[in-house]
Amino acid sequence: MPVYVDREAPKLWRRIYSETTLEASLLAEKWKLVLAGLVFQYIHGLAAHGVHYLHRPGPTLQDAGFFILPALGQDKAFVSETVFVTIFGSFILWTFHPFVSHSKKICTVLIWCRVFVYLAASQSLRIITFFATQLPGPNYHCREGSKLAKIPPPKNVLEVLLINFPDGVIYGCGDLIFSSHTIFTLVFVRTYQRYGIRRWIKHLAWLMAVIQSLLIIASRKHYTVDIVVAWYTVNLVMFYVDSKLPEMAERSSGPSQTPLLPLSTKDGNKSKEDHQRLLNKTNVADEL
């Protein structure tokens, strides 16, 4: 066994090094898009916190999902979060698997570029909808009588910009239509459906997405309409984005490989040659 480990260790480090070189090259080219995606996540969080200032608690609206699914209760609110964290963490690990795996169908930087586009488009629509109409929150901390249901006007700009972290993130109210958790879940599941290779994981991912949606309703974190709107909106957004962005060819496809997002027209030929050279080096290192 030690001999096997000694032989495999150099291969693993060569694989990590070659993949890091490739991803660093892609990040150098796509860093603006990656940064914009990260910044927009902050903007989305800022908007979700901002609508809390407008939230006015009231009687919980009549909801079909609430009649069908019994409430889990405040003490079991962690159940839906556990499922979400599992989906979130699993997806992140999968996007970084090219650094250690022989099977390399995706590039980490490029897959996250596409994910950020999906998220930004969906979250933009979400921001518009929850600012357009504020519903009384069904979550326990958003109901009448709760001290967290309403927050006083901010004392200064810094209080708004810091989103009252972490309470402002955990105990938000008013950002209902449509569910942010469902946006992330569907984006991750559909991305793996498109670029993943394990069929059983795809089936499991969709099952977990359905379970996650039901648990959100049962936890009274969202109305059923928030989940339903998220399901068809995110799918339509991703379908539209996919129709506009060029497809990412598999890394094993050789010279015909094209990037996930369009390369800059400036020095386009040179960029393509650099990418192909790095990919060839990666493939050679894997074969050693």
Active site residues: 181, 222, 226
Among the listed residues 134, 117, 128, 114, the one whose alpha carbon sits nearest the alpha carbon of residue 40: 117
Alpha-carbon span 208 to 89, nearest angstrom: 13
Q: How many CB atoms lie within 10 A of CB 12?
A: 12
Given the structure tokens 């469902």, which residue do they identify? 182
Cβ atoms of 91 and 190 within 8 Å: the answer is: no
Alpha-carbon span 184 to 234, nearest angstrom: 9
Please tell me the number of Cα atoms within 13 Å of 221 on its side-chain side.
23
- Report in angstroms the alpha-carbon separations of 280 from 20, 180, 228, 261, 275: 14, 39, 45, 20, 9
